[in-house]
Amino acid sequence: MELSDNHLFSHDHLFRHDVLDFVSTATQFCIQVEQCEGSERGEFTQVMQQLLPVLYYRAASLEEIEEYYGYVQDIVTEQDYDFVRLNMAMILREDDDFLDVYHPDSKYADSPVVSTISECLADCYQSLRNMVETFRQENEEAMQVSLYECLQDFRSNWGMRLLGALTAIHQVIAAGGVDEL
């Protein structure tokens, strides 16, 4: 196999069914988060309760992605992050806070760490949106780097943040906290 054939072969996995399913689900998540402004709490929590497990499953089920280094410009700005976080916080109101026993700081704290669903989901959004936008640009080398970085971040950060948010959303729904005022 020539070097150029190997180079082309290394990007074939970008178009595997499992990768495309993951990117599609990530896109759905990003759209829901970006367009949630003005949503009812019950509707938002129900959508997230159904979408987050699928997103986690898709990320966790991906076959191993080959390590690939390079630079990809982040798309999500601090203003984008704050926009989605604040919109979700306004929807969730008093149900946004939860005790996060798996937060990295809880190892050193005397009491549980308070996290917010909106911040956990905004952390997921940041990593996923950067990857989704890179895929939309259709530059295969950048797609490779972005996918690899997103999955590394899933293992070290947003996977646990997603599970924390999902657990808190489950508690809100189970406690009847989705009734609107």
Averaged over 112-140, what is the pLDDT?
95
Residue 180 lies in a domain: no
Stated pTM of the model:
0.88
Residue 181 lies in a domain: no
Residue whose structure tokens are 């895929």:
135
Q: What is the DSSP letter of 10?
A: T
What confidence score (pLDDT) does residue 43 get?
Answer: 96
More confident: 115 or 63: 115
DSSP 70-85: --------HHHHHHHH
CATH number, residue 68: 1.20.120.1550
Q: Which residues contact 2 (CB under 8 A, 6 or more apart)?
A: none
Residue whose structure tokens are 């109101």:
93
Q: Cβ–Cβ contacts within 10 Å for residue 113, how many?
A: 16
Distance CA 57, CA 23 (A): 12
Tens-digit pLDDT profile for residues 144-178? 999 999 999 999 999 999 999 999 999 999 998 66
Q: Quick check: 179 pLDDT over 70?
A: no
Please state, in angstroms and as integers, the Cα–Cα distance from residue 34 to each residue in 48, 103, 150, following that order. 13, 25, 19
Distance CA 72, CA 75 (A): 9
Residue 169 lies in a domain: yes
Tens-digit pLDDT profile for residues 4-45? 333 443 567 888 999 999 999 999 999 999 999 999 999 999
Residue 63 lies in a domain: yes
Residue 116 lies in a domain: yes
Share above pLDDT 70 across residues of the chain, in percent, rounded to a whole number: 87
What confidence score (pLDDT) does residue 1 get?
Answer: 30
Averaged over 123-148, what is the pLDDT?
95
Run of H or E residues at 9: helix 3-9
What confidence score (pLDDT) does residue 157 get?
Answer: 95
Averaged over 96-124, what is the pLDDT?
83
Averaged over 59-69, what is the pLDDT?
87
Residue 27 lies in a domain: yes
Averaged over 71-87, what is the pLDDT?
95
What's the total number of domains in the chain?
A: 1
Residue 179 lies in a domain: no
* Closest by Cα among 134, 148, 156, 158 to 74: 134
User: Which residue range(s) make up the domain with 116?
Assistant: 3-174
Q: What is the mean pLDDT of the chain?
A: 88
